Structure 1
């Protein structure tokens, strides 16, 4: 009984009995490896992590974007090592469902990735996207360097101006340094490619305009 309770509702800070979930061998759509090479991703490849609700639909938003090298889904922003899906869904691990995006800077940019992020979900609803409710569905950007942080904050502030004009609440998005990223279970990876009629609860506000486009108007 103790083991079952620990699995469903792990105590804060207690490591899981199993180690981390191994990365998938390859992306079933793009054919690339989601595993970070030894020494990290090298230019022109850059990494970004986004939380925008259920990661099934969120991942598809990014793998279909031009210039994206690979994607995977996982867990970030929590306090329990080696999380698993059920404990994350309990809200007790503190993790968000996230998409890890690796993109080619010679073909796209972090700003382009942010445009997808802001457009694809409603960042004004705290811990909620549609019918999906819980801290694991929170809006979040986990940045890897100061340039990413500044652009994330700049686009958030730009979106807040647009939301204010429309009489909407401001973004609740958390913008924090990227900590440890944990891969989710294999069956979650590229889920909507494997299950074309599967659930996707994402929906944007319809109000976001890319910052670079707004600046040229």
Structure 2
């Protein structure tokens, strides 16, 4: 007998957990792999922020920190309502947050368009509130932009990549594209988890479809 489970739904602001005024845990200052800072103030000027949700944030963070031209990364919770949530609270779906990776980058070293390609090529953005067996609103695909320029590129990238996915037989992109309200750091043990635990489980369901950067990258 099959049991039909209700599809995960995003909690509303009115029904979200209340949260608190500060973190319940300490946050490391530096990146376990690179030694660079993961919190302000950073070691150089001219850096920008990008935030992505790609399902399990352990693997998502590794996808970005392995890129030579990314300055720094950290994992946390974003896109929801509960201030300073814990991992356990986020897993209930009642904070509204997605597991997210915060990418610090210098646009002189790597463009936002290139980061969007890393994002789209390293998970399945058509699955809605899940990635494989990881089910829940915290695992949704999300681009949380920090500027209008990022919004425009994210929307154009979703259209361009959506066409490639359709040609490969995939459904429509379900990626949420929304302004970043706040990024809350995750607990210390989550930061750079797969470097600290190289045999850790974190499914990343890449489609194998390449993202056409040149079709949505800015012309100047």
TM over 0.5: yes
Alignment of 1:175 with 2:177, yes or no, is yes
Cross-structure match for 1:143 = 145
Cross-structure match for 2:19 = 15
**Residues of 1 paired with 2:149 and 2:101: CA distance?**
19
State the TM-score, normalizing by the size of structure 1.
Answer: 0.87
Cross-structure match for 2:133 = 131
Q: Tell me, what secondary structure is at the counterpart of 1:148?
A: helix
**Residues of 2 paired with 1:122 and 1:182: CA distance?**
24
- Runs in 1 of length 4+ with deviation above 6 angstroms? none
Cross-structure match for 1:4 = none
> Are the aligned partners of 1:22 and 1:183 in contact in 2 as well (CA < 8 Å)?
no
Task: Quickly say closer, same or farther: Cα 1:99–1:212, change in 2 above 3 A.
Answer: same
Alignment of 1:154 with 2:156, yes or no, is yes
Task: Quickly say closer, same or farther: Cα 1:21–1:111, change in 2 above 3 A.
Answer: farther
**Residues of 2 paired with 1:206 and 1:80: CA distance?**
35
**Residues of 2 paired with 1:52 and 1:89: CA distance?**
15
Q: CA deviation at 1:213?
A: 7.3
State the TM-score, normalizing by the size of structure 2.
Answer: 0.86
Unmatched tracts of structure 2, length 5 or more:
1-14
Cross-structure match for 2:30 = 26
Matches within 5 A, 1:188-203: 188-203=190-205
Alignment of 1:212 with 2:214, yes or no, is yes
Cross-structure match for 2:71 = 69
> Are the aligned partners of 1:21 and 1:183 in contact in 2 as well (CA < 8 Å)?
no
Q: In proportion to residue count, which structure has more helix?
A: 1
> Are the aligned partners of 2:16 and 2:94 in contact in 1 as well (CA < 8 Å)?
yes
Q: Tell me, what secondary structure is at the counterpart of 1:147?
A: helix
Q: What do residues 162-185 of structure 1 show as CA deviations (whole Å, max 9, x unaligned)?
A: 122223211000000011110000
Unmatched tracts of structure 1, length 5 or more:
1-10
User: What is the RMSD of the two structures over their aligned residues, measured on CA atoms?
Assistant: 2.0
Q: CA deviation at 1:65?
A: 0.6
